[in-house]
Amino acid sequence: MVTCSATRPNAQSLRIYRAIADPTRRAILDRLRSGPVPVNTIAEGFRQSRPAVSRHLRVLRSARLVAVRSHGRERHYYLDPAPLKSVAEWLEEYRVFWQTNLTALKAHLENESEPQA
């Protein structure tokens, strides 16, 4: 039997989950995987207004998933994937759970389909 640790999420965990729940913010994170990007370049990739993209970046910064560095007059955002480790660990518990249950289901169905002697 697989058990999942049911710990109460802390404020930082809640910020991370809230941040990655939005598809626009996930797209921003995907864009930043290739390296730091100026905020204007990020905004160009979306149909939303620049202020709307800035609000998304603010949420991502609050979750500590992105950081910003100034390069002259430009602000470059870059990905900080470390906080996602806790999400990956949490999801891994569910992957193990489903893998175990699907394996058991497969074995059950295979046994059921065998001819009875």
CB 12 within 8 A of CB 61: no
CB 57 within 8 A of CB 77: yes
- Indicate the domain borders of the chain: 11-104
Query: Which sign does the torsion angle of CA 60, 12, 95, 81 carry?
Result: positive
CB 79 within 8 A of CB 61: no
Model's pTM, two decimal places? 0.72
Residue 84 sits at the vertex; the CA angle it makes with 50 and 39, to the nearest 5 degrees, is 20
Instruction: Give me the architecture of the 11-104 domain, per CATH.
Output: Orthogonal Bundle (1.10)
State whether residue 78 is helix, strand or coil.
strand
Tens place of pLDDT per residue across the chain (117 aa): 444 445 556 788 889 999 999 999 999 999 999 999 999 999 998 999 999 999 999 999 999 999 999 988 999 999 999 998 888 888 888 888 888 888 888 888 888 877 765
CB 17 within 8 A of CB 26: no
Please tell me the predicted confidence (pLDDT) of residue 71.
Answer: 86
